[in-house]
Chain A
Amino acid sequence: MIPLLQTLLDGLVLGGVYAFAAVGFSLIFGVLGVVNLTHGVFVVLGAYAALLLHEVVGLDPILGLPLVMAALFALGYLYQRTLIAAAVERASLVASLLVTFGVALMARNLLQIVASPDVRSIATAYSFAGLSLGPLRIDLVRAAGLLTSLVLLFGLALLLNRTAFGRAIRATAQQPVGAALSGVNVRHVHGLTFGLGGAFAGASGAVIGMMLPFTPSSEAAWTLNAFVVVTLGGVGSPQGALLGGLLLGVIATLTAQYVGPAFQNAAMFLVLVLMLLLRPQGLLGHAFAASR
């Protein structure tokens, strides 16, 4: 019984981080309709940025989050205003799939050259400490990561639902023409949304860097991960990402424990295909679909 509970707990902890890692992708997909295959690159960039800050300045990844998020926000904003917008305008949303795929390859290659393809991880002072919850155990690092994830997810939900900025984003997602007519600068909002998505991706990367090993080619796995989370939980909302992430985390740990660690991704992918066949809009549906 205890091993099962521990596995479930590990799954929920991992799942919280998965949700955090996917919410940026979800937002971009929900608001812009763009499937951002460069998402994983932003995650990995966040990990490397946090690694750099930790090694050069000794900054703890969680403390360094504001910096990482700011940098990746800017990158995301620029990326969308230049390449993505151009691709969507020139051809179609499907073209953005190819462009983001191409950029992902370029970025991965550059990262491999600049940062080396070796597997890295961020070792903090408390990397090996643990917390006990009765008979169950959590790594301190993972607990910190989970807490950060939940706080930031909650913050995003507040942003989307309680601020003027959030209203502008939601309006643009539901009715771009109407929003534009009401004075919303749709292009700017798209850029800001993408920046927000990138910032969250990068932030999750910094957290992930503390918990799991990463290399430049991890980006593909994190992009797919995000896609699965969104397919499971629903598009465009932090709640959907949280639900999908938690589900996915539990599936991952249960598979690792009872089938084998090698089959984690295979199990997750199987779940993805099942969901796509049965309910492609995810359990909570498309957050902005009401008026579409």
Chain B
Amino acid sequence: MTTRILATLVFLAVLAAAPAFVPPFEVRVLSLFCFWGALSLAWNILGGFAGYWSFGHTVFVGIGAFVPGVIVAKLFDGGGAELMPLLVLVGGLVSAAFAGIIAWPLLRLRGIYFAIAMLGVAQVTGELSAAIEWIGGGVGLSLPDAVPAALAPEAFFHYIFVGLLALTIGAAAWVRGARFGQGLLAIREDEDTARMLAVPTEGYKIAALVLSAFLTGLLGATYGFSLGYITTDSVFRTDFSLNMIVHALLGGIGTIAGPLLGAAVMVVLTQVVLGEMLNLHLFATGALVVAMVLLAPQGFLGLWRRKPRAQREPGP
């Protein structure tokens, strides 16, 4: 166990040190890896551990990005750069609060119904962010330049993304090792039996969604700052939702290394291989999903066969 912890720390340290000896383009690629790895890990807490596949996790990215944007626009008239850490935190917290609100009705649903309900949440929230003029997602929101003078922008955001990745890995690892994590696994394997074994299924599911949303929100907020200017279409993106699922599936759902591995593969594929063809990202993601489903070995998809579980029928 401690070798794993050591290896992870070394890995993170090397990542963090990258801007010192790697040119800006590669630093951005590494940042992207950290961003996607952390996102997928956060998704995995609910999807892989608890077995509730959200097809709409981009909603938490969007909320995380929009909250600082709206605050900056309404309260600071475009300024507020020095408050970035606080704003990012608030973005994460509002995401978490939102998750808490939708959790009770939505987590009552299972399997495809939950997946599609989350898709709907993302769709509607995205639409509202543009349609409600006070939010202004259609026109877009500016986020102040919070990069300190001494640092290059890509290095600044890189450090933050590495930090968030470390946080997410820590959170996922803690969940995995705690009673909470075991309970989530039981829920994934057989929710009704878990309930009968006194696992607090409702509370645990909500906690997993809220935690996942918090981490995703932090990442979304940081992403927003790194873009500098956000619109509905740039942060409420269907392919974001799909990417998170794809990374976890590719590398191995329910593990910690899995989503990271998947993210690494995908980032290399899209940035390095497809790099120039930016407008084919949706296509590439979609094609990869299809290829994975059709070509991957049975065992890898074996986890899917148990979903969705038929509900235990109460009856005479």
Residue of A at shortest CB range from B131?
A: A262
Q: Contacts A109-B283, A113-B279, A277-B108; is A97 near B115 (CB within 8 Å)?
A: yes
CB distance from B22 to the nearest CB of A (A): 31
Q: How far is the CA of A266 from the CA of B102 in the complex (A)?
A: 13
Is there an interface contact between A105 and B242, defined as CB atoms closer than 8 Å? yes
Known contacts A94-B111, A99-B289, A262-B127; 8 additional CB pairs below 8 A are A103-B286, A104-B286, A106-B290, A109-B286, A110-B283, A220-B123, A220-B238, A263-B131
User: Is residue A35 within 8 Å, beta carbon to beta carbon, of the partner chain?
Assistant: yes
User: Is residue B272 within 8 Å, beta carbon to beta carbon, of the partner chain?
Assistant: no
Residue of B at shortest CB range from A274?
A: B105
Instruction: Offer 5 A-B interface pairs, CB within 8 angstroms, sorted by A.
Output: A99-B290, A227-B120, A262-B132, A269-B121, A276-B113
Is there an interface contact between A83 and B304, defined as CB atoms closer than 8 Å? no
- Output the residue of B120, B287, B298 with the most chain A CB within 10 A: B120
A80-99 residues at the B interface, CB under 8 angstroms: 83, 86-87, 90-92, 94-95, 97-99
B-contacting residues of A (Cβ < 8 Å)?
35, 83, 86-87, 90-92, 94-95, 97-99, 101-110, 112-113, 220-221, 224, 227, 261-263, 265-266, 269, 272-273, 276-277, 280
Q: Which residues of B contact A262 (CB under 8 A)?
A: 127-128, 131-132
Q: Is the interface of B mostly helix, strand, loop or mixed?
A: helix
CB distance from B53 to the nearest CB of A (A): 8
CB distance from B137 to the nearest CB of A (A): 11
Q: Is the interface of A mostly helix, strand, loop or mixed?
A: helix
Q: Which residues of B contact A105 (CB under 8 A)?
A: 238-239, 242, 282-283, 285-286, 289
Contact with A along B279-316 (1 / 0, CB 8 A): 11111011111100110001001001101100000000
Q: Which residues of B contact A92 (CB under 8 A)?
A: 301, 304-305, 307
Q: Which residues of B contact A269 (CB under 8 A)?
A: 120-121, 123-124
Is there an interface contact between A99 and B282, defined as CB atoms closer than 8 Å? no
Residue of A at shortest CB range from B288?
A: A102
Residue of B at shortest CB range from A87?
A: B293
Considering only CB atoms and an 8 Å cut-off, how many residues of chain B contact the other chain? 44
User: Is residue B112 within 8 Å, beta carbon to beta carbon, of the partner chain?
Assistant: yes
Is there an interface contact between B282 and A106, defined as CB atoms closer than 8 Å? yes
User: Is residue B109 within 8 Å, beta carbon to beta carbon, of the partner chain?
Assistant: yes
Q: How far is the CA of A212 from the CA of B245 in the complex (A)?
A: 33
CB distance from A262 to the nearest CB of B (A): 3
Is there an interface contact between B123 and A106, defined as CB atoms closer than 8 Å? no
CB distance from B58 to the nearest CB of A (A): 12
Q: How far is the CA of A88 from the CA of B305 in the complex (A)?
A: 10
Is there an interface contact between A86 and B294, defined as CB atoms closer than 8 Å? yes
Q: Which residues of B contact A112 (CB under 8 A)?
A: 279, 282
Q: Which residues of A contact B119 (CB under 8 A)?
A: 224
Q: How far is the CA of A98 from the CA of B245 in the complex (A)?
A: 9
Residue of B at shortest CB range from A97?
A: B112
A-contacting residues of B (Cβ < 8 Å)?
55, 105-106, 108-109, 111-113, 115-117, 119-121, 123-124, 127-128, 131-132, 238-239, 242, 245, 249, 279-283, 285-290, 293-294, 298, 301, 304-305, 307-308
Is there an interface contact between B293 and A102, defined as CB atoms closer than 8 Å? yes
Is there an interface contact between A95 and B293, defined as CB atoms closer than 8 Å? yes
CB-contact partner of A102 in B112, B286, B301, under 8 A: B286
Residue of B at shortest CB range from A221?
A: B123
Residue of A at shortest CB range from B300?
A: A91
Residue of B at shortest CB range from A227?
A: B116
CB-contact partner of B282 in A87, A95, A108, A272, under 8 A: A108
Is there an interface contact between B282 and A94, defined as CB atoms closer than 8 Å? no
CB distance from A236 to the nearest CB of B (A): 16
Q: Which residues of A contact B290 (CB under 8 A)?
A: 83, 99, 102-103, 106
Q: Which residues of B contact A266 (CB under 8 A)?
A: 124, 127-128
List the 10 shortest-distance A-B pairs measured between CB atoms, nearest first.
Answer: A262-B131, A102-B289, A105-B286, A106-B286, A109-B282, A109-B283, A102-B286, A91-B301, A102-B290, A105-B282
CB-contact partner of B55 in A91, A101, A106, under 8 A: A101
Q: Which residues of A contact B117 (CB under 8 A)?
A: 272-273, 276
Is there an interface contact between B127 and A265, defined as CB atoms closer than 8 Å? yes
Residue of A at shortest CB range from B283?
A: A109
CB distance from B265 to the nearest CB of A (A): 16
Residue of A at shortest CB range from B132?
A: A262
Is there an interface contact between A95 and B120, defined as CB atoms closer than 8 Å? no
Q: How far is the CA of A274 from the CA of B304 in the complex (A)?
A: 27
Q: Contacts A98-B245, A224-B119, A276-B109; is A109 near B293 (CB within 8 Å)?
A: no
Q: Which residues of A contact B285 (CB under 8 A)?
A: 102, 105
Q: Which residues of B contact A109 (CB under 8 A)?
A: 279-283, 286
Q: How far is the CA of A133 from the CA of B308 in the complex (A)?
A: 50
Q: How far is the CA of A110 from the CA of B283 in the complex (A)?
A: 7
